[in-house]
Structure 1
Amino acid sequence: MTTTEEFWETFYREHERVWTGNVNPLLAREVSELTPGTALDLGCGEGGDALWLAARGWRVTAVDVSAVALERAGARAAEAGLAERVEWQRHNLSLSFPAGEFDLVSAQFLHSTTEAEGERNRILARAAGAVAPGGVLLVVGHAGWPTWQVGDRPEYHFPTNAEVLAGLDLDEGWSVEVDESVVRELTGPDGEPGTRADHVLRLRRGR
């Protein structure tokens, strides 16, 4: 396995469950009014976003580098009666990428301290290439560390929306529908009150 695969397999194996299982709220906000079609969920983790999309009529291809995460996600899909609406694929997105075009491509918090500098941009460029004509690319990323995480901050650059756009180098057929930063109130792992800022970028490909 690569360093990235080893990191995320260990990350998931160390916990019986990592995420809440709920949809990312910014995904829900941006997608709720879209007409369901085909969706690609990049970095799906334990499947919260993919299952939310599937329950609302989307046919979802959900991708993660961790086999442990995908196994958990698949089990949740079966329990929810959504197994036929989601295809789970294992990819290290630096090395391989799902085939096809999609009405929605979602990259939620696609950050990794194990990736080489610039790798996220290359992955997002491939994500843009997977958007069908008239479809949407939704990129949500952290703007920085949460307020409660004062020490032990790995060295990592959180890209701005302007940097993401520059890295995508899109042609004039694309339009920017949402470009903003959102500060949310969150609770830290030890119950600390705090906030975290996130960037939201929703792009639509021309027909």
Structure 2
Amino acid sequence: MHFAIWQRTLRFQRLHRTIKQSGATEQPEPATREKSTMTHSFDKKYWDEIWHGDRATAMAAGAPNPHLTHEVAGLTPGTALDAGCGGGTEAVWLATRGWQVTGADIAAEALARAADRAAQAGVADQVRWVEADLSTWEPEARYDLVTTHYAHPAIPQLDFYRRIADWVAPGGMLFIVGHLHHDHHGGAASHDAGHGHHDTDGQPPESASVRAADITAQLDPTEWEISTARETHRSMTGPDGRDVQLHDVVVAAVRRR
């Protein structure tokens, strides 16, 4: 589900800027105003539309998240769950490093693209793909690694993180990369062509963003050892070739045995 783009909202923003620059008077239709309010739910219908949209190929073709590759590279491979795996970028990367991976996502089209990517990488037998609503789904077993990258199911973000934390085996790691919640990230240029969960000002909606302290507060210190809790800013080249600034929250925690 990472790199999903709120395309209609962004098109409206760009139209708004173009009209303002031309000096014309903007008179949007009522339906256009409605689209800019970001009132949708992150449900199956929403994600199916995203993965059948014109940015799906670019979304599925990205490099694995650098936070994951840095933090997880030194771990001993075991079983892993990528919760909200989207086009399978991180799941396939884990499989190429020897992990036995389950990739779960609500969008069937995303999983089809993920399966193709795994086959091309020669690791199809190391990844199991599961179409699942992560707000209700329960795995059959716990995992040595549970990771998620900008995933947004149809429940509050912190509720989602608490759910997936329950799926980590004793001694295993929970690894979360999310959108950093901040009042000012620098305007619509930020996130615009990255993973692209945008509100009307070019930023992820408040419901899809968190702070590191919000996440760590969900983890009982008698059960978890926090190894990483940071809020970072990084640059990347988006699918359209532009440089963009990303604002991430990264949390890694190990469940005590």
Normalized against structure 1, the TM-score is what? Answer: 0.88
Match of 1:161 among 207, 212, 217: 212
1:129 and 2:166 are equivalent in the alignment: yes
1:179 and 2:229 are equivalent in the alignment: yes
Which ranges of structure 2 fall in alignment gaps of 5 or more residues? 1-40, 193-198
CA distance 1:193–1:7, change in 2 (3 Å): same
CA distance 1:155–1:178, change in 2 (3 Å): closer
Give the distance between the partners of 1:176 and 1:138, measured in 2 at CA.
Answer: 10
- SS across alignment from 2:92: helix
Give the distance between the partners of 2:74 and 2:157, measured in 1 at CA.
Answer: 28
Match of 1:40 among 58, 74, 81: 81
Match of 1:193 among 225, 243, 250: 243
2:50 is matched with 11
2:5 is matched with none
| Residues 33-81 of structure 1, C-alpha deviations (whole Å, 9 max, x = no match) | 0000000001101111011000010000100010000011112212222
Give the share of equivalent positions with the same residue, in percent. 37
CA distance 1:71–1:34, change in 2 (3 Å): same
- SS across alignment from 2:173: strand
CA distance 1:155–1:182, change in 2 (3 Å): closer
Q: RMSD value over aligned CA atoms?
A: 2.2
Give the distance between the partners of 1:87 and 1:146, measured in 2 at CA.
Answer: 39
Which ranges of structure 1 fall in alignment gaps of 5 or more residues? none
- Is the radius of gyration larger for structure 1 or structure 2? 2
Contact 1:146 1:194 in 2 (8 A): no
Deviation at 1:127, TM superposition (A): 1.1
CA distance 1:183–1:100, change in 2 (3 Å): same
Contact 1:38 1:104 in 2 (8 A): yes
Give the distance between the partners of 1:189 and 1:89, measured in 2 at CA.
Answer: 27
CA distance 1:110–1:3, change in 2 (3 Å): closer
| Residues 110-153 of structure 1, C-alpha deviations (whole Å, 9 max, x = no match) | 236xx34xx22222112111111111000111115675058833
Matches within 5 A, 1:1-207: 4-15=43-54, 16-17=56-57, 18-111=59-152, 115-116=154-155, 119-144=156-181, 147=187, 148-149=189-190, 152-153=200-201, 155-157=205-207, 158-166=209-217, 168-188=218-238, 190-207=240-257
Aligned residue identity for 2:74: E
Contact 1:146 1:196 in 2 (8 A): no
- SS across alignment from 1:46: coil
Normalized against structure 2, the TM-score is what? Answer: 0.71
- SS across alignment from 1:89: strand
Give the distance between the partners of 1:176 and 1:83, measured in 2 at CA.
Answer: 33
Contact 2:60 2:114 in 1 (8 A): no
- SS across alignment from 1:138: strand
Give the distance between the partners of 2:186 and 2:246, measured in 1 at CA.
Answer: 5
